[in-house]
Amino acid sequence: MAQVPSWTVIPVLIRYWIKGRFTKTALISILIGEIFFVLFILFASETFLSFSGRFRIGTELTVITWSLILSFYLIGLIQSGFNGSGLPVSGGDVDYVFTSPVKSRDVFIAKVLMNSLTIVLFAFPPMFALYLRISRFYETSVVIAAVAGLVTLVYFLMGLFLSADVTLSLGKIGRRASLLKSVFIVFVVFVTLVPFLSILNGTPETVTSLIRFLPNGLAAATSIGLVSGSASGEILFFDFILLLLWLGGLLILGIRLSNTHFYELVQIRQPRIGKKIVQTSSRSELNPIGRSVWSVVGTKERIIIKRTKELRALLMNVLFLSGFMIIYSLSGSFQSSPISFLFILFILGSFGSGNGMRWIEKERLWILKTTTISMKRYVKEIFRARVFPLLLSLAPIIIVIGVFFVATEPIDTSSQMSLILIFPAALQIPALMMGGSMYFAAKFGQSTTDDILETQTQELVDIKRFIYQAIINLALIAPIMLLVTGSEMVALFFGAGSTIPLFLMLILSLLYTYIILNIILDKAGNTIAMREDL
């Protein structure tokens, strides 16, 4: 039989992958995610523009900052490339596509086109929103903002190609992979950061152009140059051509690699069993002798959080959040926009929400449900084990913001008084949202290993869960938000005598948090006890 030509097979592969990935329910969830992402991008860009306006940040520093942010994307993709997921291969691909006579080059092209399509569809709206906001600031046109968005898309595609190339080369570089990964990442960070440091020290401008060695710098320089109207047409054109050369070069490299190394992906691809664990052995850290069962339950959860890298991920996120929050507090947005402050509280809360969702995998419930332990108490112990590291990592950020807030803002007494409620609220809200999310995980949480996650029914359950969770979590934190917004009015109304009413409000808010957490965690415990889809 004749070999199927590329022009026939590539569309067939893409068509079936699209059918598998973009189901109706998946599209709804993506749409919801896009809306949230666009809102966040608008909020973040607003904050940055306030900050840069206040501190007279020039376009050079903006380019370097944007280049730094884009480098995180590149670093993430380099890492995923070295982890073997730069070119996602499913079990179905291995069993049916890899065993067919389709050329590996065609499979590679189809994969890359498929991934590119996803990036183009879903990354463009937030990027366009970002550049539109910046173009309004610099009074440039909407068309320019759209072109800047397309330039960033080219960079995003280039990142995908790089990640795929790294994965394809894993079979060849083998044991050097870990060393090369570190070299790659250090190089990207170094080239991105050096101009940042030198511009602050007043080092000549030529040093800052160092970032143009890398695609993230080229993308930042071209897109910011476009929307700010600060760069000359020739330079922009030259930078864009360089970026396209990166893109083309990495694509050609990928096609060449796919001819020789594509089937090594089957060896690289490891079935993901549960959450990712790096180590293979450890001495017992549980030490159960002489301790209560609940203390052991708490320790077990802390061990799991630590070993599944959840704790490390939390600390990394907190690090990024603290950087953002410092910029936010310096931007002066606290005073100018109370709504954006509430949004910040919501972002803090989402940390709790994310942490709460990961606590359960339904296929392990048999271990607990065949014993006599109380599920209500179990859930509360898990909550304690998870909420303390969260609050401990958020507390320093809140203190730092507080210091910036008091030190940099010419605030009046009433605003200072309202801090009595604001800062505890910044911890209460993540705790409440974590409790809410634990309840929803108890109700809808699925296994991370089951195939059920790939079914449309599961996607629908996820959407339902997300919507319910968002609504209920908002309802849970609404009274705290109201007390926070009301505290400034109370401080204004009572003036110097507002200490007592504010402390009463604080007690009310703490009492509310305590009661609601108890109710929601009891409900989570009951839900698990009643769950039958085991």
Partner 1 sequence: MAEIFVEGLSKSYGDVVALDDVSFRCASGEVFGLLGPNGAGKSTLLKIVVGLLKPTNGIVRLGGHDIVRSPEAAKQIVGYLPENPSLYTGLTVQEFLQFVGKIRGVDDTSLTNQIYESLRSFSLVEKMNSLIGSLSKGMKQKVALIASTIHDPSVLVLDEPLTALDPRTQRLVRDWIGSQAGKGVTILLSTHLMEIAQSYCTRLAIIDKGRIVASGGIDTLRKKAAAGSEANLDEIFLRLTEKSGDA
Residues lying near partner 1 in the complex (CB under 8 A) are found at: 273-275, 277, 279-286, 288-290, 293, 296-297, 300, 303-304, 307-308, 361, 363-373, 447, 449, 532, 534
Nearer to partner 1 by C-beta: 60 or 361?
361
In whole angstroms, give the CA distance from residue 354 to residue 432.
12
Nearer to partner 1 by C-beta: 487 or 527?
527
Nearer to partner 1 by C-beta: 56 or 283?
283
Nearer to partner 1 by C-beta: 206 or 372?
372
H-only helix segments in 139-277: 142-173, 177-200, 205-208, 215-228, 233-261, 265-268
Nearer to partner 1 by C-beta: 95 or 285?
285
Q: How far is the CB of 65 from partner 1 (least distance, A)?
A: 37
CA dihedral over 340, 343, 348, 354, signed as positive or negative: negative
Q: How far is the CB of 356 from partner 1 (least distance, A)?
A: 18
Q: How far is the CB of 303 from partner 1 (least distance, A)?
A: 6
In whole angstroms, give the CA distance from residue 441 to residue 456.
18
- Residue 486 makes CB contacts below 8 A (sequence gap 6+) with 505
Nearer to partner 1 by C-beta: 123 or 311?
311
Count of CB atoms situated within 10 Å of the CB of 399:
11
Q: How far is the CB of 360 from partner 1 (least distance, A)?
A: 12
Q: How long, in residues, is the chain?
A: 534
In whole angstroms, give the CA distance from residue 113 to residue 6.
13
Nearer to partner 1 by C-beta: 206 or 270?
270
Q: How far is the CB of 306 from partner 1 (least distance, A)?
A: 8
Q: How far is the CB of 362 from partner 1 (least distance, A)?
A: 9
Structure tokens at 141: 């046109």
Nearest to 444 by CA among 364, 533, 523: 533
Nearer to partner 1 by C-beta: 304 or 379?
304
Nearest to 418 by CA among 519, 518, 503: 503
Q: How far is the CB of 529 from partner 1 (least distance, A)?
A: 10
Q: How far is the CB of 479 from partner 1 (least distance, A)?
A: 36
Q: How far is the CB of 273 from partner 1 (least distance, A)?
A: 6
In whole angstroms, give the CA distance from residue 237 to residue 341.
40
* Contact between 72 and 216 (Cβ < 8 Å): no
* Contact between 265 and 89 (Cβ < 8 Å): yes
Nearest to 317 by CA among 359, 277, 348, 361: 348
Nearer to partner 1 by C-beta: 220 or 360?
360
Nearer to partner 1 by C-beta: 282 or 457?
282
Q: How far is the CB of 31 from partner 1 (least distance, A)?
A: 31
- Residue 84 makes CB contacts below 8 A (sequence gap 6+) with 167, 170, 265, 268, 269, 270
Distances (CA, A) of 247 to 9, 241, 257: 24, 10, 15
**267 burial type by CB count under 10 A (0-12 exposed, 13-18 middle, 19+ buried):** exposed
* Contact between 236 and 222 (Cβ < 8 Å): yes
Count of CB atoms situated within 10 Å of the CB of 107:
23
Nearest to 387 by CA among 421, 347, 356: 356
Count of CB atoms situated within 10 Å of the CB of 95:
10
Nearer to partner 1 by C-beta: 33 or 274?
274
Nearer to partner 1 by C-beta: 234 or 532?
532
Q: How far is the CB of 533 from partner 1 (least distance, A)?
A: 9
Structure tokens at 437: 């999310």
Q: How far is the CB of 290 from partner 1 (least distance, A)?
A: 6
In whole angstroms, give the CA distance from residue 156 to residue 70.
9
* Contact between 429 and 509 (Cβ < 8 Å): no
